Chains A and B, each alone.
Chain A
Amino acid sequence: GESVGLHLPTLSVQEGDNSIINCAYSNSASDYFIWYKQESGKGPQFIIDIRSNMDKRQGQRVTVLLNKTVKHLSLQIAATQPGDSAVYFCAETDTGGFKTIFGAGTRLFVKA
């Protein structure tokens, strides 16, 4: 069946280092991918997205890379800060934005 999964359940990085969170998806027909950040006790919040016709998209301190050949998605966070500590989810969706499939999440720990 269709699924979105993450390679690493937890990631620990030193403050100031770059973080890379990976995600694999199985539905090659998916058109739109989003990364969400979820802090403890809160709902997921949008970080960055990318359409299937793109390979890379940059935001403020974050970059999403899409490799359709191997169905792989990654989130890069530059100069990781303590405020980046959270669970990060990748999500696979159609352009309608519903029936979105989420991965299990990766917990990012930032060490001071």
Chain B
Amino acid sequence: NAGVTQTPKFQVLKTGQSMTLQCAQDMNHEYMSWYRQDPGMGLRLIHYSVGAGITDQGEVPNGYNVSRSTTEDFPLRLLSAAPSQTSVYFCASSGTRTGSSGNTIYFGEGSWLTVV
């Protein structure tokens, strides 16, 4: 059981380039989301999905697109990279956890993105 897998781990982009961060989960979770984490700050929600074919915006959606064609995959697209998008990106899925009171978010290992 791999959990949440995201790629690439590290990426350097030039301003204006586009790219896609891949995310896959094998826990059959309906809910998936993307967060960004900047130095000294908590995680901010970019986009989320409550199931295949359904996506919605989070706190900081500008400059990013998502799609959810399958339950397993939730890619994040940067349309035209800007230095302000330099950050660490975390994909997450949400589901029940043995011993917990509700749905728990499971995070991937992170993708370090630098835009120059």
Check A102 for interface membership: any CB of B closer than 8 A.
Answer: yes
Check B41 for interface membership: any CB of A closer than 8 A.
Answer: yes
C-alpha spacing A93/B31, complex, angstroms: 13
Q: Which of A12-20, A38-46, A68-76, A78-86 contacts B (4 or more CB under 8 A)?
A: A38-46
Chain A 30-74 per-residue mask, 1 if CB under 8 angstroms from chain B, else 0: 011010000001111110011100100100000000000000000
Cross-chain contact A46 with B104 (CB below 8 angstroms): yes
Q: A-B contact count, CB below 8 Å? A: 76
Cross-chain contact B100 with A49 (CB below 8 angstroms): yes
C-alpha spacing A5/B70, complex, angstroms: 35
Interface footprint category on A: 20 to 34
Check B52 for interface membership: any CB of A closer than 8 A.
Answer: no
Q: How many residues of B contact A (CB 8 A)?
A: 29
Check B97 for interface membership: any CB of A closer than 8 A.
Answer: yes
Q: Which of B14-22, B79-87, B107-115 contacts A (4 or more CB under 8 A)?
A: B107-115
Tell me if B's interface is mostly helix, strand, loop or mixed. strand
With beta carbons under 8 angstroms apart, the residue of A44, A89, A97, A105 that contacts B94 is A97
Across the interface, which residues of B come within 8 angstroms of A103, CB to CB?
42
C-alpha spacing A89/B48, complex, angstroms: 20
C-alpha spacing A93/B48, complex, angstroms: 14
With beta carbons under 8 angstroms apart, the residue of A45, A57, A98 that contacts B48 is A98
Across the interface, which residues of A come within 8 angstroms of B100, CB to CB?
46, 49
Across the interface, which residues of A come within 8 angstroms of B33, CB to CB?
98
Cross-chain contact A99 with B48 (CB below 8 angstroms): yes
Q: Give the Cβ gap from A31 to chain B, nearest Cβ, in Å.
A: 8
Q: Give the Cβ gap from B47 to chain A, nearest Cβ, in Å.
A: 10
The interface of chain A, by Cβ under 8 A from chain B, is 4, 31-32, 34, 41-46, 49-51, 54, 57, 89, 91, 93, 95-100, 102-105
27 contacts between A and B (CB under 8 A): A32-B101, A34-B104, A43-B107, A43-B109, A44-B105, A45-B107, A46-B104, A46-B105, A46-B106, A49-B102, A49-B104, A57-B101, A93-B103, A95-B103, A96-B31, A96-B50, A96-B94, A96-B103, A97-B104, A98-B31, A98-B33, A98-B94, A98-B105, A102-B35, A102-B42, A102-B44, A104-B41
